[in-house]
Amino acid sequence: MRTRALSRWFLFSESTLVYIFLYAPIAILIIYSFNTSKYAIWEGFSWQWYETLLNDDLVLRALKNSLIVALVSTIISTLIGTLAALGMQRFEFRGKGAIDGIFYLPVIIPEIVMAASLVIFFGFIRFTLGMTTVILAHIAFCVSYVIIVVRARLEGFDKTLEEAAMDLGANEFQTFFKVTLPVIAPGILSGALLAFTISIDDYIITSFVAGVGSTTLPLQIYSMVKTKVTPEINAVSTLLLIPTILLIVIADRLQREKK
């Protein structure tokens, strides 16, 4: 009993230290975004850095670009990823294993490799870097995440539901939209939220394929950090962090949903 209690205490202590190491810097960043002082000394609560942020045209333009890229890439990658997941799940064909492996490549290869390959590809086809290349690049790596999430949802799908619907007179389109789609909808929405989160947070790939006038929020934050660290950076990081966490939590809840 004593050994078991000691093991539990050690495991609890180790886990606590790991969480502190991972999340203490984030907590400090959020706290100091409300600090009156410019320096790492707490002098009082203030909203002034958020007000400064709202008057910063460069940051607002970067935020607008990030939202446009994230929304467009999420919609397109969700559509392509869902159709691909359905096709891979339902049909058997030659080369399916190889194609399945290709879908996982953007997830497992280093981002720097994918970024370099994309910028070389755009240069090869003589495509000018800008918002379009950023969106295409984000679609390229977001599709894989959508496919993985939707396919995981399809693994537990009961095909007898579709058979029952068609036996009752429904055609293939009616069966899909009234039976299949509602069942896998949590997986699709979960994949879309995950794609949006990954897209709006991406820095490495975006930094390679972005052109003039296509600076996103992560790129803008990095440029601000290089010149001068101010509580305004804490404020914009907090605004970027909170919705990201919420989207990840929602995506996780949807993915765990069984009904």
CATH classification at residue 238: 1.10.3720.10
Residue 239 lies in a domain: yes
Residue 217 lies in a domain: yes
Query: Under a CB-based contact definition with an 8 Å cutoff, are residues 202 and 138 in contact?
Result: yes
Residue 38 lies in a domain: no
Token pair for 63: 């935020």
The CA-based angle 226-228-232, given to 5 degrees, is: 110
Pairwise CA distance, residues 191 & 75, whole Å: 11
Residue 16 lies in a domain: no
Identify the weakest region by mean pLDDT among 116-125, 204-213, 216-225, 236-245: 236-245
Residue 50 lies in a domain: no
Which residue segment(s) compose the domain that 200 sits in? 56-256
Amino acid at 91: F
**SS3 of the chain:** CHHHHHHHHHHHHHHHHHHHHHHHHHHHHHHHCCECCCCCCCCCECCHHHHHHHCCHHHHHHHHHHHHHHHHHHHHHHHHHHHHHHHHHHCCCCCHHHHHHHHHHHHHCCHHHHHHHHHHHHHHCCCCCCHHHHHHHHHHHHHHHHHHHHHHHHHCCCCHHHHHHHHCCCCHHHHHHHHHHHHHHHHHHHHHHHHHHHHHHCCHHHHHHCCCCCCCHHHHHHHHHHHCCCHHHHHHHHHHHHHHHHHHHHHHHHHHCCC
Residue 120 lies in a domain: yes
Q: Assign 256 a pLDDT band (cuts: 50, 70, 90).
A: low
To the nearest 10 degrees (0 to 180), the angle between helices 131-155 and 231-256 is 30
Q: Assign 229 a pLDDT band (cuts: 50, 70, 90).
A: low
List pLDDT tens digits, range 63-83.
889 989 999 999 999 999 998
Residue 150 lies in a domain: yes
* Residue among 184, 191, 180, 186 nearest 78 (CA): 191
Pairwise CA distance, residues 132 & 224, whole Å: 24
pLDDT for 212:
81
In total, how many domains does the chain have? 1
List pLDDT tens digits, range 42-63.
777 888 888 888 888 888 888 8
Query: Under a CB-based contact definition with an 8 Å cutoff, are residues 68 and 134 in contact?
Result: no
Identify the weakest region by mean pLDDT among 29-38, 167-176, 248-257: 248-257
pLDDT for 72:
95
Residue 42 lies in a domain: no
